[in-house]
Amino acid sequence: MAALSFPVITFPHNPKPNSTLNNEHSSSNFQLLPLIDQCTHIKQLKQIHAQMLRTGLFYDPYSASRLITASALSSFSSLHYAQQVFDQIPQPNIYTWNTLIRAYASSSDPRRSLLVFLQMLEQCSESPNKFTYPFVVKAASEMKDYLVGRGFHGMAIKSSLGSDVFILNSLVHFYGSCGDLDMAYQVFRNIPRKDVVSWNSMIAAFAQGNFPEEAFSLFREMEMENVKPNDVTMVSILSACGKKLDIEFGRWLCSYIERNGITSNLTLNNAMLDMYVKCGSVQDAKLLFDKMLEKDVVSWTTMLDGYARSGKYDEAQHVFNEMPKQDIAAWNALISSYEQNGKPKEALAVFHQLQLSKSVKPDQITLVSTLSACSQLGAIDPGRWIHVYIGRQGFKLNCHLTTSLIDMYAKCGELEKAIEVFNSVEKKDVFVWSAMIAGLAMHGRGKDAIDLFSQMLQAKVKPNSVTFTNILCACSHTGLVEEGKDLFCKMEPVYGVVPGVKHYSCMVDMLGRSGNLKEAVEFIKKMPIAPTASIWGALLGGCKLHGNVEYAEYACSQLLELDPRNHGAYVLLSNIYAKRNKWDQVSRLRKLMRDSGIKKEPGCSSIEVNGIVHEFLVGDNSHPQCRNIYTKLDEIVARLKSSGYVPNKSQLLQFVEEDDMKEQALNLHSEKLAIAFGLISTAPSQTIRVVKNLRVCRDCHSRAGQVDYLAGVRDAAGVGLIGAAPQPVEALSFDRGGGAPKGMARQGSELAPFFHREGIFKEGSTEDCPRCSS
């Protein structure tokens, strides 16, 4: 571009166009236009702009439109500069208006596209044409503004452009992106002469709307209509296949692409890679990955995620290490892969590695994934650090971060802090409200959750499926049966939310917890959907709570028909038999599990100390401080006994004859080992938080409460237990100064507010809470 050596001049404040171009220079003037296409930098374009102003060529509508196109749509485009150029044109033609509208529609602020459109209606002598409407409809799609898009649809019809294929294709995409698939399909069917873009738009709408079967059906119809699919078609179909988890059809699609000579490119290869990973075939993904001549960060992160999904974490780490560029997207992929596949400890380790590397800074996606890992571990310290980091780095506390912070604090036992975060933000979407309702639910504040639900409605926020799952859990966990029934009955007729499997499971859980087992069975029989394993599991949990063997056997048989290798079903029924001293039945079930190769998930308790997560199994002696842990545990047992504590031997679910052996077996529970380690490893002013992957047994729950109040063991040290359960995990956190849950009164049934309400025990155990009865 050495030829582009025109001097840079200052733009005239009020330039006046030459009435005519000098004929002598017109030929050389128009030789400037081809140079526009040769520009590779905005500075070069500005030099041409200056020369066009000097010669008057800028005031030729066609020439000005060429300059606008380069400044707004080229690889080096600058919308700010394009707007300045546009504002200098005395009378922009329709092409120039459309170019600026198009550029803004694809920008980070598509709203500006609509503002330019309104300005065009007022200032342009020409009416919007068939090229204008697709661009403004695209802007409405990006904004997910249904009413605006509908308005453009109406304007196009009134302008006699309602049958134009370009406009109709954009409308199919718009309605699909806004979730109105019925309207998208109606527009699609009304297209007189469909082109490949028409079919692609509708197939993509079905795929993105989670209707893979409809996408497949339309793909087959497309072939029957002799419309040849292209690479865009196949990207959408592969996406639908990934959602359907149909690996055989996915392999057929990949061979179809090769047989039909569909041009392979990076986007299509990444789509095939993603399909293989989602369908669980990491081997196919690896074969394709190795063949790909061109790879980008999407290719590498997809492969990384595939290994993580299949539990091959060493391979995932290897892919990460081999990546040409470890940008924040790569770190996010590794962290989220661990976090989403039940490896929160590893996710936090990678986050710590990211902090030490100092190569890139965490972004909002990093923080959301890491906060989720903190929630799973009950790791409050890194969660608090992230909260502070958000403020110091000036991150906008958007709805995603707000939801993650509320969830983290609630699951780590800091409910008041979760409420503080909730109250600190002005903009709250449905997920923020739902997260706060869930937090109140897991802390046993069912009435507060219902009050918050009412406030949500007053704020004109429409509840969704997640909201109702959380509010029904709140009613279930706090014995608010009638309130829960009322909310369930209003879901569809009042709020337009069709009850799903999770909502039916919540109702069965609610009825089971309250002792209405017969009503729960009748409810299942009358459901409009087929009962799933989770629904029978909820009934089985209620049977265990109330020791009902008859219904438990019925629920277990139904559950095992659907999921023969569900170890939880065997364990729950075995525990019910054990409570009734039916040891022969317990032995039968355990033998059946052994013969079938079914293993019970081992109980594992973890505790975070100084940013490090320590894990314990039952009878664990692998910890470096094993000797000190057991010494402290013996001390706790001795002091508890001296204060009148009697171990709850009914919690021993194996046949042991000697009483001292029963007591010893209870003392080896992982929760107790974690508590003992916490007592010797943290300062008296710190709260001990123990997280367990399974339900906390009643004796451990009771002993945690005894330790809270046991003077002399550790300056009235506080202990919190977090026990995993089928419903959202629950958290219990106690102040060291007195032992009562934070924000709760120290009296009666309020000592463990989310485990019970007026004698009704909640998640974490299965019978009346010993802390109430003691």
Determine, yes or no, domain membership for 2: no
Together in a domain, 631 and 715:
yes
Together in a domain, 591 and 609:
no
Q: H or E segment at 269?
A: helix 266-278
Determine, yes or no, domain membership for 153: no
pLDDT at 450 over 90: yes
Determine, yes or no, domain membership for 701: yes
Together in a domain, 660 and 561:
no
Separation of alpha carbons 577 and 538, rounded Å: 18
Residue 572 sits in a domain of what CATH number? 1.25.40.10
Separation of alpha carbons 440 and 32, rounded Å: 68
In this predicted model, what pLDDT tens digit does every residue of 646-696 receive, in sequence order?
A: 655 554 445 444 444 445 555 677 888 888 898 888 887 777 888 877 666
First and final C-alpha spacing in the chain:
87
Together in a domain, 482 and 584:
yes
pLDDT at residue 743 in the model: 28
Residue with tokens 């329709």: 94
In this predicted model, what pLDDT tens digit does every residue of 384-412 receive, in sequence order?
A: 999 999 999 888 889 999 999 999 999 98
Chosen domain end from 554, 569, 596: 596
Helix ranges (H only) for 394-464 are: 399-411, 415-424, 430-442, 446-458
150 CA to centre of own chain? 30
Over residues 126-152, the mean pLDDT reads 94
The structural domain count of the chain equals 2
Determine, yes or no, domain membership for 338: no
Chosen domain end from 596, 617, 649: 596
Separation of alpha carbons 26 and 57, rounded Å: 8
Give the dihedral sign, CA 661/665/666/672: positive
Separation of alpha carbons 498 and 505, rounded Å: 14
Together in a domain, 569 and 609:
no
pLDDT at residue 667 in the model: 65
Together in a domain, 575 and 616:
no
Phi and psi at 599, nearest 5°, equal -115, 140
Q: How far is CA 71 from CA 150, 188, 607, 731, in A?
A: 31, 34, 57, 56
- DSSP-derived pairing of the beta strands 688-692 and 719-723: parallel
User: Are the beta carbons of 487 and 468 closer than 8 angstroms?
Assistant: yes
pLDDT at residue 4 in the model: 39
Over residues 599-622, the mean pLDDT reads 82
Determine, yes or no, domain membership for 400: no
At residue 91 the predicted structure's pLDDT band, cuts being 50, 70 and 90, is: confident
Supply 117's token pair. 């459109």
In this predicted model, what pLDDT tens digit does every residue of 685-727 receive, in sequence order?
A: 777 888 877 666 655 555 554 454 443 344 334 455 555 433 3
In this predicted model, what pLDDT tens digit does every residue of 247-279 receive, in sequence order?
A: 999 999 999 999 999 988 999 999 999 999 999
Determine, yes or no, domain membership for 487: yes
In this predicted model, what pLDDT tens digit does every residue of 44-73 receive, in sequence order?
A: 888 888 888 888 888 888 888 888 888 888
In this predicted model, what pLDDT tens digit does every residue of 291-338 receive, in sequence order?
A: 999 999 899 999 998 998 888 888 998 999 999 888 898 899 899 988
Separation of alpha carbons 764 and 724, rounded Å: 7
Of 651, 748, 723, 708, the C-alpha closest to 477 is 723
Phi and psi at 236, nearest 5°, equal -70, -45
Helix and strand counts by DSSP (H, E) for the chain = 40, 6
Separation of alpha carbons 632 and 27, rounded Å: 95
pLDDT at residue 18 in the model: 45
Together in a domain, 591 and 481:
yes
Of 687, 616, 606, the C-alpha closest to 384 is 687
pLDDT at 10 over 80: no
Q: Name the residue range of residue 530's domain.
A: 455-596
User: Are the beta carbons of 29 and 55 closer than 8 angstroms?
Assistant: yes
Chosen domain end from 565, 596, 627: 596
Give the dihedral sign, CA 574/577/579/581: negative
**Residue with more model confidence, 365 or 734:** 365
In this predicted model, what pLDDT tens digit does every residue of 308-321 receive, in sequence order?
A: 888 888 899 899 99
In this predicted model, what pLDDT tens digit does every residue of 18-35 receive, in sequence order?
A: 444 444 445 555 577 888
Together in a domain, 502 and 548:
yes
pLDDT at 735 over 70: no
DSSP-assigned letter for residue 190: T
In this predicted model, what pLDDT tens digit does every residue of 519-569 receive, in sequence order?
A: 999 999 999 999 999 999 999 999 988 989 999 999 999 999 998 888 888
350 CA to centre of own chain? 19
**Residue with more model confidence, 770 or 67:** 67
Separation of alpha carbons 114 and 103, rounded Å: 11
* Whole-angstrom Cα Rg for the chain: 32
Calculate the average pLDDT of the chain.
Answer: 82
In this predicted model, what pLDDT tens digit does every residue of 170-218 receive, in sequence order?
A: 999 999 999 899 999 999 999 999 999 999 999 999 999 999 999 999 9
Supply 22's token pair. 């000098």
pLDDT at residue 27 in the model: 52
Together in a domain, 493 and 626:
no
Determine, yes or no, domain membership for 577: yes
Separation of alpha carbons 84 and 10, rounded Å: 13
Supply 236's token pair. 């959408």
Which of left, alpha, beta for 292 (phi over 0: left; psi -120 to 50: alpha)? beta
User: Are the beta carbons of 52 and 62 closer than 8 angstroms?
Assistant: no
Q: Model pTM?
A: 0.70
Over residues 740-745, the mean pLDDT reads 28
Separation of alpha carbons 574 and 200, rounded Å: 54
Separation of alpha carbons 262 and 228, rounded Å: 9
Determine, yes or no, domain membership for 510: yes
Q: H or E segment at 443?
A: none
User: Are the beta carbons of 68 and 104 closer than 8 angstroms?
Assistant: no
pLDDT at residue 318 in the model: 92
In this predicted model, what pLDDT tens digit does every residue of 464-519 receive, in sequence order?
A: 999 999 999 999 999 999 999 999 999 999 999 999 999 999 999 999 999 999 99
Residue with tokens 């629950």: 730
Together in a domain, 551 and 475:
yes
Together in a domain, 589 and 680:
no
Together in a domain, 590 and 638:
no
Q: H or E segment at 507?
A: helix 501-513
Q: Please give the full DSSP string across 22-77, using - where no structure is assigned.
A: -HHHHHHHHTHHHHHHH--SHHHHHHHHHHHHHHTGGGSHHHHHHHHHHHHHSTT-
pLDDT at residue 364 in the model: 93
